């Protein structure tokens, strides 16, 4: 069995090359008995499962074919697509995961998450995250018209970009103590969010940061369940 981990695709109709890259990935791994884990920010923005934008049709169809070939799709939300839910995922039998999950692959215990919860030094973002992810508020927003939600999402994105201009890279990166806590009950931590692909050694354990998808390539992680040691190496995916 192949385990495939990706994050931060930021798919949108404005970047068709990224969409083609994702569709090519599904095609390449369709016959490999693949467990695909999408660790957040799959889409650049998600305003609700009731958004039936035409550009999504090709993606949904490819995901259906991928699933029907015997593969499994898992998704956990990021800071851009936390409103994505089961109604969308049910179209291709994908499974919605919790913000943090522990997997046992080979002989290793692996923790997966989007990565934003590890950035504890970014206090303003953590406060906003707690508010916007409140189930009551999220439920209320989902009942608002699509046009209102689109304007709201555009406003949040603009304010976030403006705020990030004045934040240091250190503040927006993971906090070392948060990483060590995350690895307390796991041997490997896999996440995205920071857009800084690398494999870090943390007191003999590994923190693997997946790459964001650029115009030509991304860095992804592929694991083989038949390899007891697991080859923990990032792999370039070019499209």
- pTM confidence score: 0.93
Q: How many Å apart are CA 208 and CA 214, to the nearest integer? A: 18
**Helix, strand, coil % over all residues of the chain, rounded to 5:** 35, 25, 40
- Predicted confidence at residue 207, as pLDDT, reads 98
Q: Of how many residues is the chain composed?
A: 239
**Could you give the angle at which helices 57-68 and 16-29 cross, rounded to 10 degrees?**
10
> Using CA atoms, how far apart are residues 9 and 127, in angstroms rounded to an integer?
25
Task: Using CA atoms of 34, 8, 181, 184 in order, give the dihedral in degrees to the nearest 10.
Answer: 10
- pLDDT, one tens digit for every residue, the chain (239 residues): 999 999 999 999 999 999 999 999 999 999 999 999 999 999 999 999 998 899 999 999 999 999 999 999 999 999 999 999 999 999 999 999 999 999 999 889 999 999 999 999 999 999 999 999 999 988 888 888 888 888 887 777 776 776 666 667 778 899 999 999 999 999 999 999 999 999 999 999 999 999 999 989 999 999 998 876 788 899 999 99
From 79, 50, 52, 54, select the one nearest 145 (Cα to Cα).
50
CA distance 129 to 79: 8
Element (H, E) at 4: strand 2-6
Please give the C-alpha separations between residue 118 and each of 130, 175, 182, in angstroms, as whole numbers.
Answer: 14, 6, 8
Q: What is the pLDDT of residue 147?
A: 82
Token couple for 58: 């090709």
Instruction: Please give the pLDDT value at position 153.
Output: 77
Angle, CA of 102, 194 and 212, to the nearest 5° = 90
* Range 2-238 has CATH code 3.90.1150.10: no
Q: d(Cα 219, Cα 237) in Å, to the nearest integer?
A: 6
Burial 150-184 (b: 16+ CB within 10 A, else e): eeebeeeeeeeeeeeeeeeeebbbbbeeebeebbe
The DSSP element (H or E) to which 74 belongs, if any, is strand 72-76
């Amino acid at each position: 069995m192949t385990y495939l981990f990706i994050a931060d695709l930021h798919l949108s109709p404005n970047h068709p090359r990224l969409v083609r890259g994702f569709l090519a990935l599904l095609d390449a791994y369709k016959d490999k008995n693949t467990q695909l884990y999408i660790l957040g920010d799959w889409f650049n923005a998600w305003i609700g499962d009731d958004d039936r934008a035409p550009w999504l049709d090709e993606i949904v169809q490819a995901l259906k074919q991928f699933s029907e070939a015997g593969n499994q799709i898992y998704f956990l939300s990021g800071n851009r697509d936390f409103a994505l839910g089961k109604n969308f995922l049910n179209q291709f039998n994908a499974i919605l995961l919790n913000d943090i999950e522990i997997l046992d692959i080979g002989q290793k215990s692996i923790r997966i998450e989007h990565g934003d919860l590890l950035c504890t030094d970014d206090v303003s973002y953590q406060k906003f995250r707690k508010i916007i992810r409140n189930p009551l508020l999220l439920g209320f927003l989902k009942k608002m018209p699509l046009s209102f939600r689109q304007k709201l999402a555009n406003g949040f994105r603009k304010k976030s970009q403006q705020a990030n201009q004045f934040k240091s890279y250190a503040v927006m990166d993971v906090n070392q103590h948060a990483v060590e806590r995350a690895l307390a009950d796991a041997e490997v931590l896999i996440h995205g969010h920071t857009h800084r692909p690398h494999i870090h050694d943390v007191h003999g354990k590994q923190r693997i940061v997946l790459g964001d998808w650029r115009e030509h390539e991304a860095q992804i992680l592929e694991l083989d369940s038949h390899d007891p040691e697991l080859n923990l190496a990032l792999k370039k995916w070019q499209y």
